[in-house]
Structures are given as structure tokens and as C-alpha cells.
Copies of this chain bind each other. A is one copy, B any other.
Amino acid sequence: MNEPRWLSPDEMRAWLGYRRLRNLLDARIARDLTEDAGLSEQDYDVMSNLSACEGRRTGVGDLAARLRWSHSRLSHHLTRMEKRGLVAREEHPGDARGAIAALTPAGWAALREAAPGHVASVREHLMDVLTPEQVRVLGDVAEAVLARLGQRT
């Protein structure tokens, strides 16, 4: 690798814009969520995935796969959420290695309470600022990049 192909002005604008977007948009949406529901985005992701499962519970490994999180990350996060009473760990019947993560009634209530505000926050700061065409392209971009990284859609 002698002379690298530097980024074009458009590419540089997109890259720096993306980095800045990531920093500021996420900070803002996270702050909204924390302030009106006392949850982090991670909490929300975990709980909304659990809420979509049979009986609002599923295996820890399965949950990690849905979230595309490392097992370690999820394990640490479940420990923190368990302390706050949002989720509970249960034994896996039939495979003593396995563990089940279950949404507690308190967690389920917190999620339902947080959802409308969270959606409104995403709308206000992101969707309502974009044209439908831009929304579509953003989805395409994510899909293309993730496909290249070898992930499922």
C-alpha cells in the first residue's frame, strides 16, 4: 500500500457527517429516553426484543443473536438490569448450561410506558427531518453495509 486512495469531498462529508450524527443524535435520543423513562437505549433494545418473544422470555444466546450483541455484553447488561428488577434470569429446563432471560412485570410496564415517548423522540430528531426518499436510502445504506459485513438483514 503506497499511495492510498484518499476520500473524495463527498465521501469525507458523508463519513464525518456519519460520525457526528452518531455522537449527537444518539446522545440526544438516549437523553430523552433516560429523562422520561429512566431507561437507556440498551435497556430498551433488550426489553423490546424480549417483549416480542413467546412468554416474553427467551434463551440468553438467542437474545444475543437477535440483538447482534456479544454474549459478554449481554451478560453484563442483564446483570445490571436484573438488579433494577427489569428482567429476571431463569434456569433452562432440559439444558442446565442454558439460561433464560425473562421480562418481569415491572420491565414490561416500563417498556410500555417508555415506548410512545421513545418513538416520538426518534420521529422528532430523525424521521421528521428527512424526506421519505432519504429514509428509504438510509435503510438501503444500512442494508448494503451490513450485507457486506456478513450479517443478516
Residues of A within 8 A of B (CB): 1, 4-7, 10-11, 13-15, 17-26, 28, 45, 68-69, 115-117, 119-120, 122-123, 125-127, 129-130, 132-149, 151
Contact = CB atoms under 8 A, between A and B. Distances in A.
Contact of A5 (B17, B23, B123): B123
A8 to B, nearest CB: 8
A1 B136 contact: no
A68 B24 contact: yes
A127 to B, nearest CB: 5
A136 to B, nearest CB: 6
A17 B116 contact: no
A116 B7 CA distance: 10
A138 B22 contact: no
A143 to B, nearest CB: 6
A17 B137 contact: no
A1 B120 contact: yes
Contacts of A19: 45
A129 B139 CA distance: 14
B20 A139 contact: no
Nearest to A7: B119
A40 B27 CA distance: 20
A112 B20 CA distance: 23
A96 B135 CA distance: 48
